[in-house]
Amino acid sequence: MKKVAIVGYAQHPILENAGALNEVELIMPVVHQLFDELGISQNNIDFTCSGSCDYLQGAAFAFVEGLSAIQTNPPIKESHVEMDAAWAMYESMLKIQMGDADTALIYGFGKSSPGRLDSIISLQMDPYYISPLWPDRVSLAAIQARVLLEKNIIAPEQMISAVIEARTNSKNNKNALVTELVDKEAYLASEKISSPLNEFDCPPISDGSSAMIIASEEKANEFTDHPIIIEGIDHRIESSNIGSRDLSKPSGILASIEQLKLEKIKFDVAELHTQFSHEVPYLQSVLNLSDVPTNLSGGPLVGNVMMCAGLDAIGKTYEALKSNDLTNGLAHASSGPCLQHNMLVHLEKKS
């Protein structure tokens, strides 16, 4: 199978409220930053794919407007996923492996500030049994947190550590939204939003965008001497019937681990799309990352742009490999309630 490499990644500073900046104005700077870095233009891109959520903008086909951020004349080949842009990267990778493209531009964008994210996300779920109850994303996450705590798979102290570490690590991430440090006392004094989760356990409402360029290995060698190859990638989804899932056993992730033979790889760094504090120790344990530096960027707890944060995990892993003497990185992207749909990406820097 043709190998595919990441050759560029750019992230907009994550904003609490982008105000009058519209989606196009959020996307343009990151796309052009990448073009400038690589010395190319849209004419050098064979395939363009974006990830966003029309529910956030509140109109069908709202994502089409995002294309105003890039040059579409002469006509381009493009696609969109109503998902995190990590899945736009997956589609683009397939396009390259099929031989239809040598280069691909991926971008994701999301403005959560104008609406009420909790109720909007409720609308995305099963419209018969679940949406009419208006379960918010925090309450569903809290249901999984309680299962994990009750079964002693994670401990409350690990959730506190995840919050404290995310804030501490935010200093490594110039685009982080939340940089204020927090201590155990402040955490414990915080009011519960949906018990057992308090406000520190939850990601901030965030606006922003990210972009990435990937290329066939051959083409990537024209851009860099040390391409960062997508050595393995796998994604699995569990049932949309949340009550039929075992929330303490991530069957999809476990199948991906086996498929990618991850137990044989010594990872140097990992970035996880962990939106809630309890997901950090849970996935660290599932993915056997106890000795692996994880979420050095702070992760989604310090900035969580909807439809971007998964691509950001891949992008931050790429950046860590690129700027350090590291070889293997693991990135994780997620979608749906209680880690329903997960993607694992093994990145390797070639020497």
Q: Where does this chain bind another protein (CB under 8 A)?
A: 58-60, 116, 118-119, 122-123, 127-130, 132-136, 138-147, 150, 192-197, 238-239, 241-244, 247
In the complex with another protein, the residue whose CB is nearer, 19 or 132, is: 132
In the complex with another protein, the residue whose CB is nearer, 82 or 183, is: 82
Least separation in angstroms between residue 192's CB and another protein is 7
- Residue 246 tokens, joined: 């075992």
Least separation in angstroms between residue 193's CB and another protein is 8
In the complex with another protein, the residue whose CB is nearer, 103 or 144, is: 144
Of 4, 222, 7, 8, nearest to 99 (Cα)? 4
In the complex with another protein, the residue whose CB is nearer, 103 or 340, is: 340
Measure Cα distances from 193 to 133, 135, 136 in Å: 18, 13, 11
What order do you get walking across the sheet with 207-216 strand by strand?
A: 78-81, 47-51, 103-111, 207-216, 4-11, 228-237, 341-349, 328-335, 269-272
Least separation in angstroms between residue 144's CB and another protein is 7
Least separation in angstroms between residue 136's CB and another protein is 7
Burial of residue 206 (number of CB atoms within 10 Å: 0-12, 13-18, 19+) = buried
216 sits in which H/E element: strand 207-216
Type of residue at 113:
S
In the complex with another protein, the residue whose CB is nearer, 117 or 163, is: 117
Sign of CA dihedral 251, 252, 258, 259: positive
What is the spatial distance between Cα 214 and Cα 201, in angstroms, rounded to a whole number?
33
Least separation in angstroms between residue 82's CB and another protein is 13
How many Cα atoms occupy the beta-carbon half-sphere of 288 within 13 Å? Answer: 11
Least separation in angstroms between residue 225's CB and another protein is 47
Type of residue at 137:
R
Least separation in angstroms between residue 210's CB and another protein is 27
| Residue listed under structure tokens 């690589």 | 38
In the complex with another protein, the residue whose CB is nearer, 202 or 283, is: 202
In the complex with another protein, the residue whose CB is nearer, 2 or 151, is: 151
